[in-house]
Amino acid sequence: MLALRKFAPEPGIRLDEVDEPGKPGPGEVLLSVSAAGICGTDLHIADWTAGYEAMAATMPVTLGHEFAGHAVQVGAGVAAPTVGSRVVVRPSVVCGRCEDCRSGRSQDCTHRTGIGIGRDGGFAARVLVPAENCIALPDGLDDALAALTEPMTVSAEAVDTAEVKPGDTVLVIGPGTIGQGAALFAQAAGAARIVVAGRDDPARLATLAALGFPDGIDSAGMSLRSALERAGLPTSYDVIIEAAGVPAVVPEALDLLALRGVLTICGIHAKPASIDLTRLVRRHQQIRGSYRAPLATWPRVIAFLAADPQRMRRLISEQAPLSDAVAAFARAKSRAASKIMLLP
């Protein structure tokens, strides 16, 4: 079968013919992958930016951690899913033994392995996954929308971590899929105004406008404050969600954060950010980190996607065959596309 793989700890990915996975072992499921999304993490891995060095030990490895499909075979001891069931996959394979796992906080497992990072993922026709990582899908949610579940859980967790309240003003920095989802969940939480900022990002800001968020700014060539002022938008926010992964915007974000405001960081940064701690203290501001969501968030996000599929479909800019994966990665990197779904 065709698979998109990372072969070495250096820039580059390639399509390769590989053997199909063998029969599922105890507790495993063999899935036929229907749709798999290209994520910002995949782009970082392809470019081999800092932060993914631990992957080197698992290469060559098939990428892809945002995917949905149906079970074609199940291993011993698997009660669900059953053959033919449609599922979306949680990409974190946890150990089940560490203190966090035993305490019901498996999202914080200290020995987890990432599907599509530390073991073969969904950019292939078939993949073996643990049955416990499979979450059933409702009939009304198509496969491409279902494959949005993983990034949308990241967005939901960022909004939950920020504790967005009714009436809050919210600035989302980074108009990619995570930022788009953050805007959607902030709206659902009752935010009074949501502004989204990008830089050289016309296509993704257009996606946000189509989703119903007209207050989008492009800060190319100027500071965030200047871009907001030029657009006649607020320059003080109760909550700021940073989903760009650009260290330089962190001090800019703090400059726009209201007294006692909360800055939540969910972008992955290749280097440290510099901040004015004295100003942070005197303005009683908070910085919070947000990463993967607990299991309980997944059914909530699936229901959210299924409740308004016509609107959620605007999150997907295009669908492409797996054979077009390398070119699709280039389009995603150029930000000419928002979310690209590969169809193995």
Of 89-98, 114-123, 311-320, the poorest mean pLDDT is in: 89-98
What does the pLDDT look like over 301-312, one tens digit per residue?
A: 999 999 999 999
- The pLDDT, as a whole number, for residue 263 is 98
- What pLDDT is attached to residue 208? 96
pTM: 0.94
Q: Which residues are CB-neighbours of 246 under 8 A, at least 6 positions away?
A: 174, 199, 267, 269
> How much is the pLDDT for 336?
80
* Mean local confidence (pLDDT), 23-50: 95
pLDDT band for position 109 (50/70/90)? confident
| Per-position DSSP letters for 169-184, written without gaps between them | EEEEE--SHHHHHHHH
CA distances from 2 to 13, 20, 117, 290 (A): 13, 9, 18, 34
Q: What residues are annotated to the active site? A: 41, 44
List all residues 6 or more positions away from 283 whose beta carbon is below 8 Å from its beta carbon.
257, 259, 260, 261
Helix (H) or strand (E) holding 326: helix 325-333
> In the prediction, which pLDDT does 45 show?
95
Helices then strands (H, E): number in the chain? 12, 18
Predicted confidence at residue 17, as pLDDT, reads: 97
Which ranges in 192-241 belong to alpha helices (H)? Answer: 202-211, 224-231
Question: What Rg, from alpha-carbon coordinates, does the chain have?
Answer: 20
Whether the predicted pLDDT of 106 surpasses 90 = no
pLDDT given at position 132: 95
| pLDDT, mean over the chain | 95
Distance CA 260, CA 279 (A): 12
Local structure of 307: helix, strand or coil: helix
- Kindly provide the b/e burial profile for residues 70-84, where b requires at least 16 CB atoms within 10 angstroms of the residue's own CB: bbebbbeebeebeee
Mean pLDDT, to the nearest integer, of 204-229?
A: 96
103 has pLDDT over 90: no
Average pLDDT of span 132-155: 96
Cα–Cα distance measured from residue 323 to residue 343, given in angstroms and rounded to the nearest whole number = 9
Q: State mean pLDDT over 230-247.
A: 97
**What does the pLDDT read at residue 214?**
96
Residues 6 or more apart from 277 whose CB is under 8 A from it?
none
Going by DSSP bridges, is the β-strand pair 113-114/92-93 parallel, antiparallel, or unpaired?
antiparallel
Give SS3 for 286. strand
Q: How far apart are CA 114 and CA 106, in angstroms?
A: 13
Residue 97 pLDDT? 86
What are 253-278's pLDDT values in tens digits? 999 999 999 999 999 888 899 999 99
Q: Residue 108: pLDDT above 90?
A: no
User: Residue 105: what pLDDT?
Assistant: 83
> Which residues have CB under 8 Å from 146's CB, separation 6+?
35, 68, 86, 88, 137, 302, 305
Whether 341 shows a pLDDT value over 90: the answer reads yes
**Backbone torsion region of residue 104, taken as left when φ is above 0, otherwise alpha when ψ lies between -120 and 50, otherwise beta:** left
Alpha carbon distances (Å) from 186 to 147, 191, 213, 218: 21, 6, 11, 20
**Which domains are delineated in the chain?**
2-137+308-343 (3.90.180.10), 152-289 (3.40.50.720)
Q: Are 148 and 305 in contact (CB under 8 A)?
A: yes
